[in-house]
Structure 1
Amino acid sequence: MQINSIKMAVKNSILMDIEKSASQKCVRSDKSYLFQKDYPNLKEFDFHKLVAEIATCQPFLLESLLAVSVPISRVGNIKLIQDLIPCLGLVYSLLMSFRFHELSRLQRVLMNVFMKK
């Protein structure tokens, strides 16, 4: 029983850290990469910069997403990780724009791409 309560306390602490980091990115003074929505910034969108934000602000979330998507037998496969960068960025972008609608840079990039086709 003691182990379960410790496990729950650790889990709650991690979840609170994730929530706090996410809420800080919703403040205009601590700009997220997803805030920049003017045309030049949309044109220069870079998934690597978005994933760098995740790595800096939400490292546990990034590790969790990688744990789900990369089998243990392929950990360390650099090409696989490089191929995952757009997927990781998309997931993070969708979650953050759901939390705060102004974090919609990627959605606007995609809308512009589809409108031109």
Structure 2
Amino acid sequence: MEVVSAILYQLTKNLQEDESSDLFARLDFCVPEFEFPAYNTKENVLMFLHEDMVAEQKAQCLYETILSNVHDTEVSDPIRFLRAREIVHYQRLGEAIQIVQGKIEKE
């Protein structure tokens, strides 16, 4: 996240207020509020996996928004790498959910 913060800072430091507010309004779209019930949080592995998947989706959305607004390869290449990593993480979390659900069903 530090890399993304540094990139966003560099991209927005010389923007006018209306330009930066437009960009941040589009970025806010990437951070919807997902809330899970607070009960049984310590034992609910599936809930934590789903929360992690949501975090991966938020990051992927953020990277896609940045890519749609930036055409500098020094920025877009690292962001593409980070986006690809989030996609893989999302897929692995989905696989972990299937494994955990299988084990729960066997109990």
TM-score range, shorter chain: 0.3 to 0.5
Q: Which has the larger radius of gyration?
A: 2
Tell me the TM-score normalized by structure 2: 0.33
- Greater relative contact order (CA < 8 Å, ≥ 6 in sequence): 1
